[in-house]
Amino acid sequence: MNDKTSLPSEIADTKGNGTIRLGCVHCDRRDQEGISMLPESWESIASVQEWVGTQCDLVTETHLGICPQCIEVFERSDAPDPGPPPWEQTEDEKNPDYQRLLKVHPIVSQIVNRDCHVGSEAKSVVQHVVAKLRNGAGTLRAMTPADRRKLIDDCIVQHRHNWKEYVEVMSGFTHTTGSQAGAELPSSLTGKKVTSLMRKHKMTIEQLAFRLGTSMKRVRQIRESGLTDPLAVRDWIQAIIGVDPGPIPEKFRIANRQEEGSCCFCGYPLFVDDEAFDYVGEMFCSTTCAQKSRGW
């Protein structure tokens, strides 16, 4: 637990203007809305967002902490470890996409999550959010250019996050677990892999020997010992699958919206600042997808 007196500077400087909505991270109590001072009986208080508007229902909690009742529960010896406060990020969360998503206004996030299908165009998502504002397009026109730009960007960021999350779920969370992004094209093949490829493409030892111009004895040896020469690996793969495996995929980072698209194999959306792979003239999200697109 943090000491009560060691509050962040932005909390200690809060003026008594009645624009604090304090919530507990462990329970659902709602008795600290519209207060002007932070209670001393609470602990680990942190500011999560600024007050917007003049009505309480226009903003979620401005500060989060641990209420006295939860402090008593979680200080018992048999209480479970509450873990770090939600505003303390883990290593997985320290990435630009997550940081940008945290800045999306909660009202925009709620509208997009509730009403907008992941397959909708970004333009229609922005139009729908604007229509849900108090005065519709009039509210948008009354905003400053900077606020207007942020509203549009928030709509697009939240919508794209939902799209990526949908693809993650439908693909079995392969990107989240890193099973695709961490794969690399092999410079060698084990005998087991050669045998597996031959079975997958219904290639017999005699057929492969004919395609490679070698003996069946040599094919049997490779099925046992494997291949270590990158050039030989490419030749054997091409002979087995019947398609040129192409050069090694070239890794690049998407720099502008004109380059955005989706993986040509799994359909994973790729946006600005995402890493992608250029392979035989097509864009892929990983080398594994590049491999699978050629049947190996």
CATH of 191-241, one of 1.10.1060, 3.30.420, 3.30.479, 1.10.260: 1.10.260
- The yes-or-no verdict on residue 6 having pLDDT over 70 is no
- The mean per-residue pLDDT over the stretch 276-284 comes to 83
pLDDT class for 260, splitting at 50, 70, 90? Answer: confident
**What DSSP element (H or E) covers 134?**
none
Output the DSSP codes for 172-213.
TSHHHHTTTTT----SSB-HHHHHHHHHHTT--HHHHHHHHT
Highest mean pLDDT among 37-41, 59-63, 176-180, 283-287: 37-41
Q: Across the strands, what pairs with 189? A: 227
The predicted model scores a pTM of 0.42
Residue partners of 291: CB distance under 8 A and separation at least 6: 183, 185
| Distance in angstroms (rounded) separating the CA atoms of residues 38 and 12 | 9
Residue-level pLDDT at 196: 85
Residue-level pLDDT at 165: 82
What are the residue ranges spanned by the domains of the chain? Answer: 9-88, 96-170, 177-183+248-293, 191-241
pLDDT class for 15, splitting at 50, 70, 90? Answer: very low
Highest mean pLDDT among 16-20, 53-57, 91-95, 181-185: 16-20
- The mean per-residue pLDDT over the stretch 36-46 comes to 85
- Residue bearing tokens 């992608």: 276
Q: Across the strands, what pairs with 86? A: none
Strands 63-66 and 261-262: unpaired
pLDDT class for 117, splitting at 50, 70, 90? Answer: confident
Mean pLDDT for all residues in the chain: 75
